[in-house]
Chains A and B, each alone.
Chain A
Amino acid sequence: MEQIISYIQATVPGDKPDNLPNQDYIQVFENDTIYIGSVSDGLGSSLHSKDGARLACECVVDILKNENSEVDFNALSDKITKHWQHLVEQNKGLIKDYRTTNSFVSVLKKEKIILAGQLGDVMISLRIDGLFRHFEITQKEFSNETDCLGSGKNERYKIAKYEFGHSFDFLIATDGISDEIEPLKLEAFQNYLKDKFQNVSTDNRNIELQSEIENIMEDKNNDDKSLLYTWTNRK
């Protein structure tokens, strides 16, 4: 039975000075054979992190849409990293000023394979055929202490491959969201997102999610908050 993939996405800037842009970025690509969701969090201390975050998502989509499930993980990580550096250089910037984290999930529809990759602290939470497959979350020591593209060290994605049968859903979220999820409520959070937004019309889903995140933003919170949630229903 064919699966229909649906998703919601929103990105909301934190409470910070007006001249500082939202440095998170989300990109989704879908065709008949593949679905790719990618989320980046540009580091606040770098001048062009917003651009670095966008380029990371574009780069991941460019590469993954041409890969199959037999891809070598190390080669894939190298390919993404080098392509990102190439894109940055094309933009005539210094790589150190474009630092960003990035995570992605790629669904190979016909092969029924999911590839998940993470560089830094953008969270991935996968539920496949009803079971949570905990993608190892990067262990950071303190806030802003994370591996990232453009840092010159540890620029390597952790990549995992999963098979799926009847269903999946997954959440990709920047630390503005993931650091605030109550640890024991992650599964309930995904249930909430699916139960609520599958009943909202496609045209209004992202608007409603955006509004809901804006409503919970408080003064004492300067983190950009971004999430991409993807789920399946049977046709």
Chain B
Amino acid sequence: MESLNDFLIQKPRPLPVIVAVDRSGSMGSNGKIDALNIALKDFINSLKDEDSNKAEIHIALFSFGGDTATCDIPFASINEVAIPTYQADGRTPMGESFSLIKNLIEDKIQIPSRSYKPTIVLLTDGIPTDDYESPMNALINEGRSSKAFRIAMAIGDDADHNMLSKFVSTPEYLVTGESARDIRKFFRFVTMSVTQRMKSQTPDMLQVPTMPDDDTLDF
């Protein structure tokens, strides 16, 4: 006998989190790539532990280094992903990663319109070595991707702070760091931002958490 269940799909709305990280050669210095690998694992595992009646986190992970940007975790439920380990190498083709992210967000098959707005997370210690301006402008100003929240971390003095300040949704979403330790702190900040959205009655409103104290980090 038929019932409403035969016609309706009952699923929480997806809350997309799209991460792009730098794996260029400079990330190999001062333990940054190792800190990134640990922080990414902690970040994804902590999001797996989150539960909400409003949303289910879906994640995609991109990286840029060597000669190209790659998609290392295709967009999927947080509970279904395996976390890669990065090696630092090569140049900083960040612009290419912007294009990959934009393509994902514009795809309504992968990210349906019933989803909450995506959060884009960018972490880098350098200056883009490819043509980044056009893809970045398209990502932040045009179409569906312009609605996403954008958070970034600049590690060290070599990061392009000017470019990153244009990238982020709000000045509070640009986090600067000097050391590998700051990378883990940044991902804690992102975790808090995402979980605040999940628990909010208005997940599509900008949420700016307080940066966690060092004391709250477990090293």
Contact = CB atoms under 8 A, between A and B. Distances in A.
Interface of A: 15-17, 20, 44-45, 139-145, 175, 177, 179-182, 185, 188-189, 192, 196, 212-213, 215-222
Interface stretch (B35-43, B80-88, B163-171, B197-205): B197-205
A221 B204 contact: no
A143 B204 CA distance: 8
B214 to A, nearest CB: 34
B204 A144 contact: yes
A177 B7 CA distance: 10
Nearest to B144: A141
A44 B202 contact: yes
Nearest to B148: A142
A140 B8 contact: no
Nearest to A213: B4
B147 A145 contact: yes
Interface of B: 2-13, 52-54, 56, 113-117, 144, 147, 201-205
Nearest to B113: A140
Nearest to A43: B202
Contacts, number: 84
25 contacts: A15-B53, A45-B201, A45-B202, A45-B204, A142-B147, A143-B13, A143-B116, A144-B203, A144-B204, A145-B117, A177-B8, A179-B114, A180-B9, A182-B8, A185-B6, A185-B7, A188-B7, A196-B2, A216-B4, A216-B10, A220-B11, A220-B54, A220-B56, A221-B10, A222-B54
Looking at chain A's contact residues, is the secondary structure mostly helix, strand, loop, or mixed?
Answer: loop
Given A143-B13, A143-B114, A216 B202 contact: no
Nearest to B51: A220
A142 B113 CA distance: 4
A216 B147 contact: no
A136 B64 CA distance: 41
A196 B2 CA distance: 9
A143 B115 contact: yes
A15 B53 CA distance: 7
B69 to A, nearest CB: 24
